[in-house]
């Protein structure tokens, strides 16, 4: 065990600092501090010695050098050996047993759009990381704390062991400290590469630290272990989950994949939108008047009630009592929405295994935005596909022009198609999904599947394709099923053949010029 006699405190994040300092003083711990940290403690009548007074050396170079001194680092790095004790005594160096340091808010600074490179450079902490690494290296004797959330465990340890910190806690804190400085350096490296790159794009050397925020029941299959990680910044609070689980069983890997898919589609639907997702693909989606969540769900369920069994429901409005009553009539894995009424929660509570997820108002921002996927021992990265083209501006390539009603159907189908696995074909009418062809190896097969899956009449419906039609066969099959309007990106060598097919069948055909593959 290591008894605390002397502590160095120097923090940017001052949450809980005064309470910690008071707890240390009650144990008779001498406090050494610098700059604003010392000022704050003195304001609250906590006795403290400044670093300058302790070392006898002034802060210089506009504060760039203040803790970089042998009396500080010798006090931290000295091991509990007779030889190190002799050298400390010879140089008048007292042992420092606790280092409480967190770093300049670099990430918060560079997150501002108007931050200049010079301002960012000045937020690169030098002394702080050195103090943290020194204390973490010497955790045999020294405790190091970088996160205000660890103040309470530290105080509890001191109270339980009469002012001493045990080796288990010192080792855990040291491990966290090295991760903290690694994340800080990663943020600096990522920013400087992006700020000084000759052209926009992904940096050559990309660093990212992830923090485990939730263990999961299992992975894609029960024999696979799994966990949920979020990008973790060096400064600021720990990352929060993008949702709050209000009830239900522990989440699995698949639950989160499907919940993400459900919410991603639901939030893009116009008006009151509800979707049902199964194995990452929508098997139902519909809109209704604002507030008519139960009506939107009823319409979505009619698309494919068989596939909806065991699915996940996403709703872009608060779930009310009327919707909850309908949800309880179906076996579901989860429901995700921005909120739930008290009555809805009471009803859903009758099915205790159903996972109820409330989306947080502001989801955590990633340290590096985009979509990640591991492959062949490496990682693929790409920007998120956030585009939703307004079809009123799309290029009309057919003789027949799309009516206002057809344009609305095409817009709905186009939004849904972006969330269907490629090759994706979506049939829709009157703000409701009618049929889906997902993940097929040929586009005409996706058309055939969408037609075959449809339970409701297809006469006069719209069709969306996430990529171009390579042949006219998809158009011919769609027209035979009752499709009267089509939207696709265009760009095939046989576009003219496809356009001719649309004109032969009297279909309205729009080209967006934008593809939405989802593999």
| CA-angle at 198, arms to 193 and 199, nearest 5° | 95
Q: Report the candidate in 91, 71, 87 with the shortest Cα–Cα distance to residue 79.
A: 87
- pLDDT attached to residue 366: 46
- pLDDT attached to residue 192: 85
- pLDDT attached to residue 113: 85
Look up tokens 């918060």; give the residue.
108
Q: What end-to-end distance do the CA atoms of the chain give, in Å? A: 55
Q: Please report which confidence band the pLDDT of residue 2 belongs to, taking 50, 70 and 90 as the band edges.
A: low
Reply yes or no on whether 279 is catalytic: yes
SS (H, E, C) 188-209: HHHHHHHHHCCCCCCCCCCCCC
Q: What percent of the chain has pLDDT over 90?
A: 69
Reply yes or no on whether 69 is catalytic: no
Report helix angle 473-481 to 495-505, nearest 10: 20
Q: Under a CB-based contact definition with an 8 Å cutoff, are residues 390 and 515 in contact? A: no
Instruction: Note whether 30 and 166 are same-domain residues.
Output: yes
Give pTM, 2 decimals. 0.82
- pLDDT attached to residue 234: 64
- CA dihedral (143, 149, 151, 155) positive or negative: negative
Task: State the Cα–Cα distance between residues 360 and 383, nearest whole angstrom.
Answer: 22
* Residue 210 belongs to a domain: no
Distances in Å between the alpha carbon of 501 and those of 402, 462, 509, 510? 16, 16, 10, 13
Instruction: Note whether 354 and 427 are same-domain residues.
Output: no
Task: State the Cα–Cα distance between residues 266 and 18, nearest whole angstrom.
Answer: 45
Q: Under a CB-based contact definition with an 8 Å cutoff, are residues 367 and 209 in contact? A: yes
Task: State the Cα–Cα distance between residues 309 and 512, nearest whole angstrom.
Answer: 34
Instruction: Note whether 147 and 68 are same-domain residues.
Output: yes
What's 112's domain CATH number? 3.40.50.1380
Instruction: Note whether 343 and 267 are same-domain residues.
Output: yes
Give strand pairing partners of 312: 277, 334
Q: Average pLDDT for residues 492-518, to the nearest whole number?
A: 96
* Residue 412 belongs to a domain: yes
Give strand pairing partners of 359: 243
Q: Average pLDDT for residues 28-41, to the nearest whole number?
A: 91
| Residue 393: DSSP 8-state | G
- pLDDT attached to residue 362: 59
* Residue 127 belongs to a domain: yes
Task: State the Cα–Cα distance between residues 406 and 426, nearest whole angstrom.
Answer: 14
Instruction: Note whether 339 and 396 are same-domain residues.
Output: no
Helices (DSSP H) in 349-467: which residue ranges?
404-417, 443-453
Residue 87 has phi, psi (to 5 degrees) of -70, -40
Helices (DSSP H) in 241-329: which residue ranges?
253-266, 293-301, 305-308, 321-327
pLDDT of 151 higher than 80? yes
Q: Under a CB-based contact definition with an 8 Å cutoff, are residues 143 and 165 in contact? A: yes
Instruction: Note whether 160 and 91 are same-domain residues.
Output: yes
Count the domains in the chain: 3
Give strand pairing partners of 267: none
pLDDT of 236 higher than 70? no
- Lowest mean pLDDT: which of 60-69, 232-241, 323-332, 423-432? 232-241
* Residue 370 belongs to a domain: no
* Residue 366 belongs to a domain: no
The H or E element that residue 39 is part of is helix 35-43
Q: Please report which confidence band the pLDDT of residue 371 belongs to, taking 50, 70 and 90 as the band edges.
A: confident
Q: Average pLDDT for residues 314-323, to the nearest whole number?
A: 97
Higher pLDDT, 467 or 202: 467
* Residue 459 belongs to a domain: yes
pLDDT, tens only, 288-314: 999 999 999 999 999 999 999 999 999
Q: Which of 84, 137, 161, 351 is catalytic?
A: 137
Distances in Å between the alpha carbon of 133 and those of 55, 64, 65, 80, 166? 20, 18, 17, 18, 19
- pLDDT attached to residue 426: 98
Range of the domain at 84: 2-196
Instruction: Note whether 428 and 489 are same-domain residues.
Output: yes
| Residue 129: DSSP 8-state | H
pLDDT of 1 higher than 80? no
Task: State the Cα–Cα distance between residues 203 and 328, nearest whole angstrom.
Answer: 48
* Residue 207 belongs to a domain: no
Instruction: Order across the sheet with 311-315: list the strands.
Output: 243-247, 355-359, 332-337, 311-315, 272-278, 281-288
The H or E element that residue 333 is part of is strand 332-337
Q: Average pLDDT for residues 513-518, to the nearest whole number?
A: 94
Residue 271 has phi, psi (to 5 degrees) of 60, -145
Higher pLDDT, 337 or 209: 337
- pLDDT attached to residue 198: 65
Q: What is the mean pLDDT of the chain?
A: 91
Last residue of a domain, one of 165, 196, 227: 196
* Residue 80 belongs to a domain: yes
Task: State the Cα–Cα distance between residues 486 and 477, nearest whole angstrom.
Answer: 12
Spatial CB neighbours of 245, under 8 Å, sequence gap ≥ 6: 251, 355, 356, 357
- Token readout for 220 is 């894609």
Classified as helix, coil or strand, 402 is coil
What's 274's domain CATH number? 3.40.140.20
Side-chain half-sphere of 111: how many Cα atoms within 13 Å? 13
- pLDDT attached to residue 365: 46
- pLDDT attached to residue 334: 97
Instruction: Note whether 19 and 143 are same-domain residues.
Output: yes
Residue 3 has phi, psi (to 5 degrees) of -80, 135
Instruction: Note whether 39 and 165 are same-domain residues.
Output: yes
Neighbours of 23 (CB within 10 A): 17
- pLDDT attached to residue 373: 86
- pLDDT attached to residue 97: 94
Parallel, antiparallel, or unpaired: how do β-strands 243-247 and 355-359 relate? Answer: antiparallel
- Token readout for 249 is 């069983």
Task: State the Cα–Cα distance between residues 102 and 17, nearest whole angstrom.
Answer: 11
pLDDT, tens only, 248-289: 999 999 999 999 999 999 999 999 999 999 999 999 999 999
pLDDT, tens only, 406-432: 999 999 999 999 999 999 999 999 999
Last residue of a domain, one of 196, 222, 251: 196
Q: Which of 84, 249, 279, 351 is catalytic?
A: 279
Parallel, antiparallel, or unpaired: how do β-strands 2-3 and 98-101 relate? Answer: unpaired
Q: What percent of the chain has pLDDT over 70?
A: 96
Instruction: Note whether 349 and 400 are same-domain residues.
Output: no
Instruction: Note whether 34 and 141 are same-domain residues.
Output: yes
Instruction: Note whether 275 and 175 are same-domain residues.
Output: no
């Amino acid at each position: 065990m290591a008894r605390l006699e002397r502590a160095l405190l120097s923090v940017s994040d001052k949450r809980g600092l005064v309470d910690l300092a008071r707890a240390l003083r009650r144990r008779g711990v001498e406090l050494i501090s610098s700059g604003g940290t010392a000022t704050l403690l003195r304001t609250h009548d906590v006795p403290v010695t400044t670093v300058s007074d302790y070392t006898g050396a002034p802060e210089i170079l506009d504060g760039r050098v203040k803790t970089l001194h042998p009396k500080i680092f010798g006090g931290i790095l000295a091991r509990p050996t007779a030889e190190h004790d002799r050298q400390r005594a010879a140089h008048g160096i007292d042992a420092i047993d606790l280092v409480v340091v967190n770093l300049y808010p670099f990430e918060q600074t560079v997150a501002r759009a108007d931050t200049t490179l010079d301002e960012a450079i000045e937020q690169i902490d030098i002394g702080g990381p050195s103090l943290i690494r020194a204390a973490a290296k010497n955790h045999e004797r020294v405790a190091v704390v970088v996160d205000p959330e660890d103040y309470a465990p530290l105080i509890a340890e001191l109270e339980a062991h009469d002012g001493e910190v045990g080796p288990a806690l010192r080792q855990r804190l040291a491990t966290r400290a090295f991760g903290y400085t690694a994340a800080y350096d990663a943020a600096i490296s990522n920013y400087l590469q992006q700020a000084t790159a000759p052209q926009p794009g992904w940096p050559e050397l990309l660093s990212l630290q992830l923090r485990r925020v939730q263990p999961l029941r299992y992975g894609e299959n029960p024999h696979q272990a799994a966990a949920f990680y979020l990008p973790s910044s060096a400064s600021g609070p720990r990352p929060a989950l993008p949702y709050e689980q209000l009830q239900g069983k522990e989440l699995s890997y698949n639950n989160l994949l499907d919940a993400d898919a459900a919410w991603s589609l639901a939030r893009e639907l116009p008006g009151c939108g509800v979707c049902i997702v199964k194995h990452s693909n929508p098997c139902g989606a519909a809109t209704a008047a604002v507030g008519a969540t139960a009506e939107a769900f009823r319409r979505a369920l009619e698309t494919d009630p068989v596939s909806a069994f065991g699915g996940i429901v996403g709703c872009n409005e608060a779930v009310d009592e009327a919707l909850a009553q309908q949800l309880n009539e179906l076996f579901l894995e989860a429901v995700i929405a921005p909120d739930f009424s008290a009555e809805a929660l009471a009803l859903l509570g009758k099915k205790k295994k159903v996972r109820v997820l409330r989306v947080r108002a502001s989801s955590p921002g990633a340290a590096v935005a985009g979509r990640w996927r591991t492959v062949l021992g490496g990682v693929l990265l790409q920007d998120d596909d956030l585009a939703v083209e307004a079809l009123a501006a799309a290029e009309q390539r057919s003789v027949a022009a799309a009516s206002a009603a057809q344009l609305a159907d095409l817009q709905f189908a186009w939004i849904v198609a972006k969330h269907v696995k490629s090759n994706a074909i979506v049939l829709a009418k009157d703000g409701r999904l009618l049929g889906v062809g997902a993940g097929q190896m040929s586009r005409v097969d996706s058309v055939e599947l969408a037609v075959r899956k449809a339970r409701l009449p297809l006469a006069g419906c719209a069709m969306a394709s996430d990529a171009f039609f390579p042949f006219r066969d998809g158009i011919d099959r769609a027209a035979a099923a009752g499709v009267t309007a089509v939207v696709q990106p265009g760009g095939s060598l046989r576009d003219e053949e496809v356009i001719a097919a649309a004109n032969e069948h009297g279909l309205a055909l729009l080209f967006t010029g934008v593809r939405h593959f989802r593999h």
